[in-house]
């Protein structure tokens, strides 16, 4: 890897993990804002600050983090493809700079306690010019990195590189859907409806991006650690290629259906049901078979253990999706488990691929602890939430009375939920501390 690409990879890695660290700091402020003894110490009114900080926490931990991983992945695949098209070499550096500035702007409204928070699906927003500008800069920055990636297709020869290419293409389609929604929405809509419908279609396409990147991460780690891919290359390309077919239908929906109509909403929901079921099943099944066949190597490899836990958490989240209630806690248990599997795949990618490429390896004994704490904690957290939801605990509520904790089963389930959440948070904090300490170290570790 050239020095320029190495520096860019480090920049994307710092943006990714830095966004998680900032999201964690906001989560701490959220907790303080709900504690009567400490909320008076905050420089803002906690009632107005809470939801603004919540939106910013979500955008950093579930959007900027994922997109920064895509940016880092584009560098790895571009480097694997050899020479970069000279006229596009600047795209990655400029894209990183725009994304960093955009991420900073996303945080400003929360710190100033300005803007109106909107908890819409997929891309929640704070209605403030700086926030929208931050979103636009992050989107444009990652798009530039993806354009350079697609202009250097020789890196797609490997399975993981092909998966990143699919994820990048899906990302550009998601941006197109956002643009089509913007031009299709009529004037005069209330802010809640505007933001919900603006990000609905493209938000669904972003789930294809996240899934493609997770499958690429699983495959990249398997290639590096075991020298094998979870499924044969031809099958991997067919499976990932099928995702593109579904994604390309997304922009067509804006011409077929009213952007404010029910048919439009259901069309994008159907894309997830039919387009995102098969790829994780096939690649995940291949990964499970590979790990079972090479199980003798699991004991000494933090990366392989992380892959196994990521697979378990994601599969449980997928199964939960078939047993959802209309408005109870089973719905958030499903998507928190699915996101947890993706998060853990990216965490393993950092430990097994990104840090070693940068010459900043972390010892397996140190990496193992946060991976297990986060993975198993997230699983317990989601199982507790699922059982509570099945018993009737509603979603998006707080307090024993509002949640209807009137039975031993509900109380125990929510207790399990809390314990798992604490373990997952501790694991996440340890991961951030570990990776940042390696990325910010003055001297690079030796390879080997």
What tokens does 411 get? Answer: 């109380």
User: To which H or E segment does residue 68 belong?
Assistant: helix 65-80
pLDDT band at 232 (very low <50, low <70, confident <90, very high): very high
Half-sphere exposure of 5 (CA within 13 A, CB side): 22
The 10s digit of each residue's pLDDT in 94-113 is 999 999 999 999 999 988 88
Give the pLDDT mean for 33-40: 56
Which sequence spans correspond to the domains of the chain?
1-157, 165-297, 300-448
Distances (CA, A) of 205 to 72, 99, 125, 169: 20, 20, 18, 10
The 10s digit of each residue's pLDDT in 273-285 is 899 999 999 999 9
Give the pLDDT mean for 135-152: 95
CA proximity to 362, closest of 348, 376, 344:
348
Q: Does 152 score more than 90 pLDDT?
A: no
What tokens does 26 get? Answer: 């906001």
Task: Return the bridge partners of 125, or none.
Answer: 118
pLDDT band at 411 (very low <50, low <70, confident <90, very high): confident
**Residue with structure tokens 């990000």?**
199
3-state secondary structure of 122: coil
Length of the chain: 448
Do 317 and 345 meet the contact criterion of CB atoms below 8 Å apart? no
Give the pLDDT mean for 287-294: 96
Q: Does 434 score more than 60 pLDDT?
A: yes
Task: Give the pLDDT of residue 392.
Answer: 72
User: To which H or E segment does residue 95 belong?
Assistant: helix 90-112
What tokens does 384 get? Answer: 């507790």
Q: What is the DSSP letter of 60?
A: I
Q: When comparing pLDDT for 76 and 329, which is higher? A: 76
Q: What is the DSSP letter of 186?
A: P
Task: Give the pLDDT of residue 445.
Answer: 45
The 10s digit of each residue's pLDDT in 207-228 is 999 999 999 999 999 999 999 9
CB neighbours of 221 closer than 8 A, spacing ≥ 6? 303, 304, 306, 307, 345, 348, 349, 352, 353
Task: Give the pLDDT of residue 51.
Answer: 84
CA proximity to 195, closest of 120, 291, 271, 104:
120
What tokens does 6 get? Answer: 């190495």
3-state secondary structure of 117: strand
Task: Give the pLDDT of residue 165.
Answer: 96
pLDDT band at 31 (very low <50, low <70, confident <90, very high): low
Task: Give the pLDDT of residue 36.
Answer: 54
CA dihedral (369, 371, 373, 377) in degrees, to 10, reads -170
Give the pLDDT mean for 368-381: 94
Task: Give the pLDDT of residue 47.
Answer: 65
pTM, two decimal places: 0.93
| Pairwise CA distance, residues 175 & 203, whole Å | 9
| Pairwise CA distance, residues 71 & 77, whole Å | 10
Question: Mean pLDDT in the chain?
Answer: 89
User: To which H or E segment does residue 308 belong?
Assistant: helix 302-320
């Amino acid at each position: 890897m050239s020095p320029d690409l190495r520096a860019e990879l480090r920049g994307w890695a710092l943006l990714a993990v830095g966004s998680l660290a900032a999201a964690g700091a906001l989560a701490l402020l959220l907790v303080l804002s709900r504690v009567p003894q400490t909320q008076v110490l905050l420089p803002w009114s906690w009632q107005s600050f809470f939801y603004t900080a919540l939106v910013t926490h979500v955008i950093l931990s579930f959007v900027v983090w994922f997109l920064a991983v895509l940016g880092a992945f584009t560098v790895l695949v571009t480097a694997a493809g050899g020479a970069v098209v000279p006229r596009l070499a600047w795209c990655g550096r400029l894209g990183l700079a725009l994304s960093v500035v955009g991420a900073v702007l996303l945080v400003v409204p929360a710190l100033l306690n300005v803007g109106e928070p909107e908890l819409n699906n997929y891309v929640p927003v704070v209605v403030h010019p700086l926030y929208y500008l931050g979103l636009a800069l992050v989107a444009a920055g990652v798009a530039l990195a993806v354009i350079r990636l697609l202009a250097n297709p020789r890196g797609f020869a490997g399975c993981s590189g092909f998966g990143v290419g699919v994820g990048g293409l899906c990302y550009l389609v998601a941006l197109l859907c956002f643009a089509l929604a913007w031009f299709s929405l009529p004037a005069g809509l209330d802010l809640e409806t505007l933001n919900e419908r603006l990000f609905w279609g493209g938000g669904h396409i972003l789930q294809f991006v996240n899934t493609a990147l997770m499958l690429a991460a699983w495959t990249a780690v398997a290639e590096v650690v075991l020298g094998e891919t979870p499924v044969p290359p031809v099958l991997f390309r067919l499976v990932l290629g099928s995702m593109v077919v579904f994604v390309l239908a997304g922009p067509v929906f804006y011409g077929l259906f009213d952007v404010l109509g029910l048919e439009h909403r259901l069309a994008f929901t159907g894309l997830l049901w039919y387009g995102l079921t098969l790829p994780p099943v096939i690649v995940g099944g291949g990964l499970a078979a590979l790990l079972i066949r090479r199980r003798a190597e699991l004991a000494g490899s933090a990366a392989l253990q992380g892959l196994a836990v990521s697979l378990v958490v994601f599969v449980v989240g997928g199964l939960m999706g078939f047993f959802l209630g209309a408005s109870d806690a089973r719905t958030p248990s499903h998507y928190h488990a699915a996101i947890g599997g993706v998060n853990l795949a990216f965490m393993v990618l950092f430990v097994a691929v990104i840090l070693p490429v940068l010459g900043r390896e972390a010892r397996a004994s140190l990496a193992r602890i946060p991976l297990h704490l986060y993975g198993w904690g997230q699983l317990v957290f989601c199982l507790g939430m699922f059982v509570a939801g099945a018993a009737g605990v509603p979603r998006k509520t707080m307090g024993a009375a509002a949640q209807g904790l009137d039975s031993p089963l509900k109380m125990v389930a929510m207790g399990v939920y809390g314990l798992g959440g604490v373990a997952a948070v501790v694991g996440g904090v340890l991961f951030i501390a570990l990776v940042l300490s390696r990325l910010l170290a003055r001297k690079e570790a030796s390879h080997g």
